[in-house]
Structure 1
Amino acid sequence: MSLGRQVAIFFIAIVLLATCAENSEARVTLENGIKSMVYLSPKITQHPGSVSNKFYYGIEFPKGHIAIKSFNAEVVDEAGNPVSLQEAYLHHWVAVRYYERIGVEDTKYHGNLGFHQSDFIIAGNSGVCNHGLTQFFGLGSETRKTSTRVPDPYGIEVGNPLEVPSGYEEKWLLNIHAIDTRGAVDAMGCTECRCNLYNVTHDEYGRPLDPDYVGGLNCCYDETQCKVKNGLESVERNLYLKYTVKWVDWSDSIVPVKIFIFDVTDTWQNTGIHDCLIEYNIEQSTTTNDYTSSKRSSVKFPIAGDVVYGITHQHSGGIGSALYSEDGQVICSSKPIYGKGNDVGDEAGYIVGMSTCYPKPGSVKISRDETLTLESNYSSEKSHTGVMGLFYILVVESSLEMNHPVQVHEGLEVPIFFWGVAVLGLAICAAVLVAYQRRKQNENGYQPIAT
């Protein structure tokens, strides 16, 4: 085929892409070989003081055998504008992979099934907790200014058809926990889920709370209400979690990484069981010269590998976490970034970001069965309830890395470039037109939007 004809096909593809853009809000973007798509969750309806903590199953997610390169999210309003943490506190969001039996009705929202039903099989990360913390991705108030980039040549492998049980298909869910603090009597107290502000004496399953339980997730479950000022007008509004997924198609040049999540409340050191309690409280310091509360836990690491990424998750009052090797060396440390003003993304008193670790490839190694120690530090100048001390790391098994060449995402050369864009244009056009029609048929479904 002549170069002139290839150029003609290229420009036809561009026209097709432009036509698709006019007929749909959704499209895949491509930059330096990395694909990207931005989605909206179902609407989150809130009024002052209300709590939404729902599980959304079958969310929109890139299809096929791919390598995830990043997963970012933030809360936006119906106009797509970012919403301040001072109005809607994002306690946490998590994205979980699961397998669903083919033919089962795809419910857009229901309670936390716990995956005890045979129609659903959780397909979580690599550990180490025995239950809970199964997410692939997840953050909280820090989500806007926290990097989730997976460096080259690594990727988080999903969509491998060989891993899906027969008769099932791979899907994803979102759990979004948002607290509306507009007009709250004590906004920070609402975000810490203090039970007295919620007037809660039973958990979401109707079980009485322990009298010593003063705050935490058991007091700010879905549809609870935090105390607001008298006479406040209850203005309802709809919010969304806007999440951006970046990925590349899977190839042998990608080095797969495993996701491990550690919890400073893990009981393994004392019980031999990885019972991760997820949250704990910080008591106010009785001294005047030391306002640091430190909590530690230790676990044995199940594989040998190299660390390529690390980050902590803490709540307000957190001052940083560190993961230590068996000989006491720092594997990775991560500290919170606090806002200093009133602008969105810079809210004073709130954690608006977390520092991350990107060790030089091969420089930070963990041995199989090595005992690692996690330390989580909080300020104890005042008490805090329902805080967390989680630590995420991405690890590549040492035996894998030697067998994979380095992959760099660069532009394709002519004439493959022309054919690639042409095929991509046709495929995207068909896909987004179908998606557009489906979205129009169900306004309460998941709404992909453009970047």
Structure 2
Amino acid sequence: MQVLSGAWISAVLFLLLGTVPLSGASRKSIGHHVKEATYLSPKFELKPGSVLNRYYYGIDFPKGHIAVKSFNGEVVDEHGNSVPLHETYLHHWQVIRYHQRKGNRNTLKEGPPREEEPLGHYILRNSGMCQDDSLIQYFAVGSETRKTKTDIPDPFGVEVGNPADIPKGHEEKWMLNVHAIDTRGVVNKLGCIECWCDLYNVTKDATGKPIEPGYKGGLLCCDDKSQCRMREGFVGRKRRLHVRYTVKWVDWSDLIVPLKIYSFDVTDTLQTSRSKSSKALATTHNCKFEYQVESCSKKQRERNACVHVKRTSFPMPKGGNIIYGLGHLHAGGIDSTVYGEDGRVLCSSKPIYGKGMGAGNEKGYIVGIKTCYPKPGSVKIMDGETITVESRYNNTREHLGVMGLFFVFVAERLPHHHFTHSSLP
């Protein structure tokens, strides 16, 4: 899954589009109070070996003051058929919340989301600590989307659409970022989805800045409209595709306990500086979002000990009870874990690898990731507690552009009541 980083931000123009509802937004009520709607993203086209990395503003999303209970998506063709990862690899999708001035007539925008007064866009970040416009999404996964559980148990939910939080003259909206790679007919499917620079013939990033020596693969080399190397003589048709996504929610009430979404990055490094004006210490979280996993030695391979471990630690300014969590890894990933200050496991997540050919079970691809659902009140992060994020990869071979992200949904208080409708998980 990709994140929003100034290092790889593209300069492509894209339309401020709303999504196309699936059958008028396929919508139904489930349980006693939970509602569900399914939508289609705007159409996008991919030819063999091509890459799409676009941002679609104003997508269809449930209206009103609600609590989101789950969000799932997948790539489908123009007939609604699920597309397998070995044909179109979904590097990631991510959904971002923002406020926009009512009556805004601007229809063109350059680059990914950021706050812009002329366009009247105000990005609403999650509670993560990375400093720039990155890891700000509310919901996001990658190739694992089809078999990853995203349901939030009762009586918890992600509060959105509260009129009291929307500035006067503005309205709340959502955007969808899609990063997809067509691997039909390419010379090396793994190399294409890991974005090896030599396969994309890329030496400069999307802004025209030369890529630093030693950077062999990652987000800089597979941005929008890039092309992976094809097998000689391969011919394939252009495809029209969508992201089909389903949202479950309940209308907001005082019985719902709101959750905060924290995004953690294993590449996060802390820098402390002193303000010249106040002389107070300020801490900056620098997140690189991706890293390289070097291959293990011959002796390690002989001992079957090829495990690459990367970890980072930082304090949580505000704690709470973990209600739900999941990691994000790329091919070769073994697991991802968040530890407390005393070494206790707060949350752990393991990938599910496919074993076949059909969509949702593609051999060698991560098709799902196991999530954690601690019993409410059983796993708590204390205010100011230092936590450690760890990701492990099998490094029998080198992996480029991998990620070690973790998302936790935290309740700052626990309920003092019993919720009436059934729990989703």
> Contact between 2:184 and 2:236, CA under 8 Å: does it hold in 1?
no
Deviations 1:105-162 (A, max 9, x none): 2638753143344511110111121121000000000000000000001000000011
Q: Residue 321 of structure 2 aligns with which residue?
A: 306
Are residues 69 and 203 of structure 1, via their aligned partners in 2, closer, same or farther at CA, if it must alter by over 3 Å?
A: same
* 1:356 is aligned to 2:367: no
- Of residues 275, 289, 297, the one that matches 1:278 is 289
Q: Where do 1:38-437 residues align within 5 Å? A: 38-105=38-105, 107=107, 111-118=111-118, 119-131=120-132, 132-268=134-270, 272-286=283-297, 287-288=300-301, 289=303, 290-398=305-413, 401-402=414-415, 404-409=416-421
Q: Residue 427 of structure 1 aligns with which residue?
A: none
SS in 2 for 1:144: helix
> Contact between 2:339 and 2:347, CA under 8 Å: does it hold in 1?
yes
Please give the root-mean-square deviation of Cα atoms over the aligned residues, in Å.
Answer: 1.6
C-alpha distance in 2, partners of 1:106/1:255? 37
Give 1:408 shift.
2.6
> Contact between 2:38 and 2:246, CA under 8 Å: does it hold in 1?
yes
Give 1:26 shift.
2.9
Are residues 108 and 339 of structure 1, via their aligned partners in 2, closer, same or farther at CA, if it must alter by over 3 Å?
A: farther
C-alpha distance in 2, partners of 1:238/1:377? 36
C-alpha distance in 2, partners of 1:349/1:194? 18
> Contact between 2:114 and 2:121, CA under 8 Å: does it hold in 1?
no
Q: Could you tell which deviates more after superposition, 296-305 or 325-334?
A: 296-305
> Contact between 1:282 and 1:380, CA under 8 Å: does it hold in 2?
yes
Amino acid aligned to 1:61:
F
C-alpha distance in 2, partners of 1:366/1:304? 5
C-alpha distance in 2, partners of 1:37/1:102? 25
Number of matched pairs = 385
Amino acid aligned to 1:255:
V
Structure number having the greater strand percentage: 2
Are residues 24 and 245 of structure 1, via their aligned partners in 2, closer, same or farther at CA, if it must alter by over 3 Å?
A: closer
Deviations 1:356-414 (A, max 9, x none): 1000110001100100000000111000111000000010003xx24x5232326xxxx
Give 1:315 shift.
0.5
> Contact between 2:270 and 2:284, CA under 8 Å: does it hold in 1?
yes
C-alpha distance in 1, partners of 2:312/2:367? 26
C-alpha distance in 2, partners of 1:35/1:162? 23
Are residues 24 and 326 of structure 1, via their aligned partners in 2, closer, same or farther at CA, if it must alter by over 3 Å?
A: closer
Q: Which has the higher contact order (CA 8 A, sep 6+)?
A: 1
Give 1:342 shift.
0.9
**Any gaps of 5 or more consecutive residues in structure 2?**
1-21, 274-282
C-alpha distance in 1, partners of 2:46/2:109? 16
Q: Residue 28 of structure 1 aligns with which residue?
A: 27
SS in 1 for 2:360: coil
> Contact between 1:269 and 1:298, CA under 8 Å: does it hold in 2?
no
SS in 1 for 2:312: strand
Give 1:341 shift.
1.2
Give 1:42 shift.
0.5
SS in 1 for 2:284: coil
C-alpha distance in 1, partners of 2:137/2:106? 20
Alignment identity in percent?
A: 54
Structure number having the greater helix percentage: 1
> Contact between 2:26 and 2:39, CA under 8 Å: does it hold in 1?
no
> Contact between 1:339 and 1:345, CA under 8 Å: does it hold in 2?
yes
> Contact between 2:143 and 2:368, CA under 8 Å: does it hold in 1?
yes
SS in 1 for 2:383: coil
C-alpha distance in 2, partners of 1:305/1:147? 22
Q: TM-score, normalised by structure 1?
A: 0.83
Are residues 232 and 249 of structure 1, via their aligned partners in 2, closer, same or farther at CA, if it must alter by over 3 Å?
A: same
> Contact between 1:143 and 1:353, CA under 8 Å: does it hold in 2?
yes
> Contact between 2:99 and 2:123, CA under 8 Å: does it hold in 1?
yes
